[in-house]
Amino acid sequence: MLKSEVTATSRHYVDRLFDPDPQKVLQGVIDMKNAVIGNNKQKANLIVLGAVPRLLYLLQQSSSSLELRTECAVVLGSLAMGTENNIKSLVDCHIIPALLQGLLCPELIFIEVCLRCLRTVFISPVTPVQLLYTDPTVIPHLMSLLSRSQRTQEYITQIFSHCCKTPEHQTVLFNHGAIQNIAPLLISPSYKVRMQALKCFSVLAYENTQVSMTLVNVLVDGELLSQVFVRMMQRDQPIEMQLTAAKCLTYMCRAGAIRTDDSCVVLKTLPCLVRMCSKEHLLEERVEGAETLAYLMEPDVELQRIASTTDHLVAMLADYFKYPSSVSAITDIKRLDHDLKHAHELRQAAFKLYASLGSNDEDIRKKITETENMMDRIVSGLSESSIKVRLAAVRCLHSLSRSVQQLRTSFHDHAVWRPLMKLLQNAPDEVLVMASSTLCNLLLEFSPSKEPILESGVIELLCSLTQSDSPALRVNGIWALMNMAFQAEQKVKVEIVRSLGTEQLFRLLSDPDSNVLMKTLGLLRNLLSTRPHIDQIMSSHGKQIMQAVTLILEAEHSIEVKEQTLCILANIADGNTAKELIMTNDDMLQKIKYYMGHSNVKLQLAATFCISNLIWNEEDGSQERQDKLREMGFVDILHKLTQASDPNLCDRWARKEANHKTHGILIRCILIYILTT
């Protein structure tokens, strides 16, 4: 048939909708229904020819017979079953408000076809879900329709589970009694209803404490909801149901509604999710299973340990990297296509799960890195085209980089720093955060990768990170610099200071994020170590540094920040020439005196260290310094501290922190020096 002919027939169908005889219009709609079923071309034609507005008009017209209105909804539902473009056209014609309006009709059959059509429209990714929430009366009405029939139950729950995308949506549904209304559907005789109700609960509970906490107390036919979910995870249930029930319990557990050592988590949910990762399941199921499992055990080391021994999970995941397999490429194009489509998803899911498994336990990390070609896979994952895979790979690398042993061995052997550095050059923020965090670990002093990374010009890059808008990136940047400066050579330190610039350094010292501040102080402290370095840096930047220190000590800051600052001061006091910057600053000395009498032991200790560095009498001018300090009344304070440092107090300190045992001894030493010289 020629295209014009096709259009002509389609035109005829549309024309009949305008017939003055309602009987003929009805027949026209019925004929149209039969013509469009399974015929995407015909559907597109009818939409282009303007059938939709007319059908909607007939559907909304109160003068239309119920039969006609029903048939119109059926045809619209059929049109919606076509391509995404069809859905777009329907939504543009305001089909959603029209159908929602139709739900107010008392006739069940009409309600059902409207819901069916709405369902088809809403489950399409092109439909804005917000349209469900525009009219506040819609959700309560849908809730009330849940009792009408199994069909309304199936369609409405399906709409809900596709349209619940944000915490706000969850709250709206929750506030309208979604839980009470949907819970009984979990034991519906219809599998479809049970399944859609279950999906509803999984989207409602996701990262939602309020919903999860409510769910644990819900009874369905006298049985706790968690037990209903456990039954749905039984191994003879359809995989889809097992997986979705496991998701529900996972979300409830992560939201704190179920303990991680509850047997329904340890003996049911976790093993169920591990099973989902096995080869015998569909690729989509394996992806979902792995992702959910990763999420479930992320915060709990015990679950990570259990999972790592369940059904050879660590080895099982290695299979996720074997798609598309060499066999599929040769024998079966369709299979190859399918494999390719899922290959990225599989890899990223496996990386995520490895990351979660290895986030705490050293033995598990070892097991992961010993899995066949694991490090190579991570390295190639870091440079994959898919952002999702790159992100997951770097997450996995980050998790493994927490292991001292791995940093020393496999990380170095596989030169993971190279792709990591490349990744850092140009990547979206979320990848950058993970990558820079990993880099922090790679720059630890004992890491053999530290040297080559330094040589690759990483300082510039890290300094630029500290200027980022994202606090996480600023922290990582400065953190990495801090690690780098630890026991570094003079030239590295100079390079850091030069590259970062004092201006930026001081900007970071007033950063609103306390983590950034802490790491910046840490960097300063690491820069100001060993005497020549201290004197060198203080001679060029002494004034600014002293200024910054004063500011921090005067401002409202946490104990940790002040302690770190006092430690910097103690380092400065260790310098040969730098000492004078403190000794000549009476204001600073007063501050030190104040902190020596502070109620917090840590601050006392740090301040006392500072003083001890100043009066150490093996150095030139110690006598003068001691005299000055004596004049300023430091001796009294030290005396007081000696008294306080009676064995009992020392003991109390010792119990608090082993370090503090030295405090009393330290004070005594200082006192002896001062008094004897």
Partner 1 sequence: MAELGAGSLSLGDPAFNYQEHELNERLKRLYPAVNEEETPLPRSWSPKDKYSYIGLSQNNLRVHYKGHGKNHKDAASVRATHPIPAACGIYYFEVKIVSKGRDGYMGIGLSAQGVNMNRLPGWDKHSYGYHGDDGHSFCSSGTGQPYGPTFTTGDVIGCCVNLINNTCFYTKNGISLGVAFTDLPPNLYPTVGLQTPGEIVDANFGQQPFVFDIEDYMSEWRAKIHGMIARFPIGERLGEWQSVLQNMVSSYLVHHGYCATATAFARATETIIQEEQTSIKNRQRIQKLVLAGRVGEAIDATQHLYPGLLEHNPNLLFMLKCRQFVEMVNGTDSEVRCLTIRSPKSQDSYPGSPSLSPRHGASNTHLHTGADSPTCSNGVTPPNKSKSHSGTGSSSIKYPSVSSSASSSTSSSPSSVNYSESNSSDSTKSQPHSANSTQETSLSLNFRRNQTHVTRSSNHDSEMEIEAEHYTNGVVEGSSARIMNGTYKHEEILQPDDNSIDEGCTNGRQLCGGNQAATERMIHFGRELQALNEQLGREYGKNATHKKMLQDAFSLLAYSDPWNCPVGQQLDPTQRESLCSALNSAILESQNLPKQPPLMLALGQATECVQLMARVRSGSCSFARVDNFLH
Binding site for partner 1 (CB under 8 A): 234-236, 266-268, 270-271, 306, 309-312, 316
- Least Å from the CB of residue 374 to partner 1: 15
528 is written with which tokens? 């100001």
Three-state SS string over 554-605 comes to HCCCCHHHHHHHHHHHHHHHHCCCCHHHHHCCHHHHHHHHHHHCCCCHHHHH
- Least Å from the CB of residue 234 to partner 1: 6
- Least Å from the CB of residue 313 to partner 1: 8
* 92 versus 311: smaller Cβ distance to partner 1: 311
Residues 6+ apart with CB under 8 A from 404: 446
* 301 versus 333: smaller Cβ distance to partner 1: 301
* 88 versus 231: smaller Cβ distance to partner 1: 231
As a whole number of Å, the end-to-end CA separation of the chain is 113
* 348 versus 369: smaller Cβ distance to partner 1: 369
* 172 versus 266: smaller Cβ distance to partner 1: 266
- Least Å from the CB of residue 438 to partner 1: 28
- Least Å from the CB of residue 326 to partner 1: 24
- Least Å from the CB of residue 271 to partner 1: 6
Calpha distance 224→209 (Å, rounded): 18
* 267 versus 559: smaller Cβ distance to partner 1: 267
**The length of the chain, given as a count of residues:** 677
Calpha distance 565→522 (Å, rounded): 9
Residues 6+ apart with CB under 8 A from 78: 33, 36, 37, 43
What type of residue sits at position 208?
N
* 306 versus 472: smaller Cβ distance to partner 1: 306
Calpha distance 237→254 (Å, rounded): 24
- Least Å from the CB of residue 73 to partner 1: 33
According to DSSP H, which parts of 217-358 are helical? 225-232, 239-254, 263, 270-276, 283-297, 301-309, 313-318, 326-331, 333-357
447 is written with which tokens? 């890491």
Q: Give the CA dihedral 341, 345, 348, 351, nearest 10 degrees.
A: -110
137 is written with which tokens? 């009366």
* 66 versus 267: smaller Cβ distance to partner 1: 267
- Least Å from the CB of residue 126 to partner 1: 37
